Structure 1
């Protein structure tokens, strides 16, 4: 037999693998293909998973439900605005203008703040500043007076 499962010679119905076993490789590749973000999303939504999905995560990926202390902190609109404004201020300080290309992404150091979008292992957070400012220009009539004044101080072109 070239590989596969063969019955052993004992009286108990057990099986032994004959030849090379691809299973460890399959398990390893499934771990490599599963991003930490994907597994974390499953861990945080454990109660919404079917029992079979929970079993697979526990036994194949050695994962378990996220504890209450591991749950992500949801950001408020004010927190998000302050992060976006900080990214704009950082860009303005460095470049001396706020004519940001739409594709530009600004790297912010969070300094141990709660993890936000696209956070990295080194504590940095990436803010899609160009897209955000472009969308803000298009929705300028919906901004509060304070937020519009904050951007005006940085030389925002409307």
Structure 2
């Protein structure tokens, strides 16, 4: 039933009517709907921004493995539907993982990390 409540707009008028009138089910409110999933490219961009923020503050990218960096994420292009929020990211583990996966990273990503002081060895 959760699927019907959340996907109410995708149901036909007859389905909506039956759910409301026969079963007493109403559409889910905005606060009940799941958050949209974050793409891998968006996750990369968030972690890269956190690593850049750490580098600008500390002057190096020798991040302790357990370090959590909080960045402000949200609307940068004026999209009013997306509010700004603090996002804590495990940037220490992420930097360590990127270092160990250096051989499989794209040249563009290697360049982005090198630009902010990544030590590859």
| Structure 1 and Structure 2 fold alike (TM over 0.5) | yes
TM-score when normalising by structure 2? 0.66
Within 2, Cα distance between the matches of 1:82 and 1:125? 13
CA contact (8 A) 1:112 1:123 kept: no
Tell me what 2:108 maps to: 146
CA root-mean-square deviation? 2.9
Aligned residues: 93
Unaligned stretches of 5+ residues in structure 2: 4-26, 77-81
Within 1, Cα distance between the matches of 2:33 and 2:107? 37
Q: Which structure: larger Rg?
A: 1
Structure 2 residue 30 is the aligned partner of structure 1 residue 74: no
Once the 2 structures are TM-superposed, how far is the Cα of residue 111 of structure 1 from its aligned partner?
3.6
Structure 2 residue 83 is the aligned partner of structure 1 residue 127: no
TM-score when normalising by structure 1? 0.51
Q: 1:91 to 1:65 in 2, by over 3 A?
A: same
Taking CA–CA contacts closer than 8 Å with sequence separation of 6 or more, which of the two structures ends up with the larger relative contact order? 2
Tell me what 1:136 maps to: 98
